[in-house]
A and B are shown apart, each in its own frame.
Chain A
Amino acid sequence: QVQLVQSGSELKKPGASVKVSCKASGYSFTTYAMNWVRQAPGQGLEWMGWINTNYGNPTYAQGFTGRFVFSLDTSVSTAYLEISGLKTEDTAVYYCARSWGAFDYWGQGALVTVSS
């Protein structure tokens, strides 16, 4: 069965970096795009962008350029989200989600807390 399993919760200080992983199984990894979605505490979903798992080229939504990097390791069917220069407002749950239009499978979410 299709599964996206994300890395665990992280507690980071402002200015630090964090790398969230999303390991896919149960399907051909390069067949579907991978999206990243942010959900701040008590807030709605925010699309961060996506990465073409076939060619590795990322597309970033407005507001997610510069400090955010999507990457892949296709040999282990894993997508990564790295955030540098963390700010307190980056505190959120970060989801990866497979898509063909619908985001049909989601990871369980990774809570990143940024606090001094």
Chain B
Amino acid sequence: QSALTQPASVSGSPGQSITISCTGGGSDLGGPYHYVYWYQQYPGKAPKVILYEVDKRPSGVSNRFSGSKSGGTASLTISGLQAEDEAEYHCKAYTTNMTWVFGGGTKLTVL
């Protein structure tokens, strides 16, 4: 199972919006499931789930984070960018083999 494809890095200025894409194939993001998750990870820390099942936010996660999915591509959008959003973002999807697969991770820099 190959990793999902994410851009290595994205950047934006405070207050702007950015979108991180996550592209897969027919057995994962292009498959029948809506089990797409996004995780935020600060250096030296464990990841934290910020979106589940494509677009649902866990309690306590800012509504500046939103998600969507179209075909084989999922997207994470962060609006009103803040300095604290600077982190690594990882997508994760369920596959038709009943396994999980992560993306390669995207480093977000807030300029």
- A interface list, Cβ under 8 A from B: 35, 37, 43-47, 59, 61-62, 95, 97, 101-104, 106-109
Known: A35-B100, A95-B47. 11 other contacts (CB 8 A): A37-B102, A43-B105, A44-B102, A44-B105, A61-B99, A62-B1, A101-B53, A101-B94, A102-B49, A103-B92, A107-B46
Known contacts A44-B103, A109-B46, A104 near B58 by CB under 8 Å = yes
In chain B, residues 61-89, which have Cβ atoms closer than 8 Å to a Cβ of chain A?
none
Q: Please, how many residues of chain B have a CB less than 8 angstroms from a CB on the other chain?
A: 25
Task: State whether A47 touches B100 (Cβ < 8 A).
Answer: yes
Q: Which of B1, B47, B53 contacts A45 (CB 8 A)?
A: B47
Query: Which 10 pairs between the two chains have the least Cβ-Cβ distance?
Result: A44-B105, A106-B46, A102-B52, A44-B104, A45-B102, A47-B100, A102-B49, A45-B90, A102-B37, A62-B1
Chain B residues whose CB sits within 8 angstroms of the CB of A101 once the complex forms: 35, 37, 52-53, 94
Min CB distance, A114 to chain B, in Å? 20
Interface string of B24-48 (1 = CB under 8 A from A): 0000000000010101010000111
- B interface list, Cβ under 8 A from A: 1, 3, 6, 35, 37, 39, 41, 46-49, 52-53, 58, 90, 92, 94, 98-105
Task: State whether B90 touches A47 (Cβ < 8 A).
Answer: no
Cα distance A34–B34 in the bound complex, in angstroms: 21
Q: Which of A37, A44, A47, A109 contacts B99 (CB 8 A)?
A: A47
Cα distance A35–B94 in the bound complex, in angstroms: 13
Min CB distance, B108 to chain A, in Å? 14
Task: State whether B58 touches A102 (Cβ < 8 A).
Answer: yes
Cα distance A103–B58 in the bound complex, in angstroms: 11
Q: Show 13 A/B contacts (Cβ-Cβ < 8 Å), sorted by A.
A: A43-B104, A44-B103, A44-B104, A45-B92, A46-B102, A62-B99, A101-B52, A101-B53, A102-B58, A103-B39, A103-B47, A103-B49, A106-B46
Cα distance A112–B53 in the bound complex, in angstroms: 32
Min CB distance, A51 to chain B, in Å? 13
Cα distance A61–B103 in the bound complex, in angstroms: 15
Task: State whether A106 touches B1 (Cβ < 8 A).
Answer: no
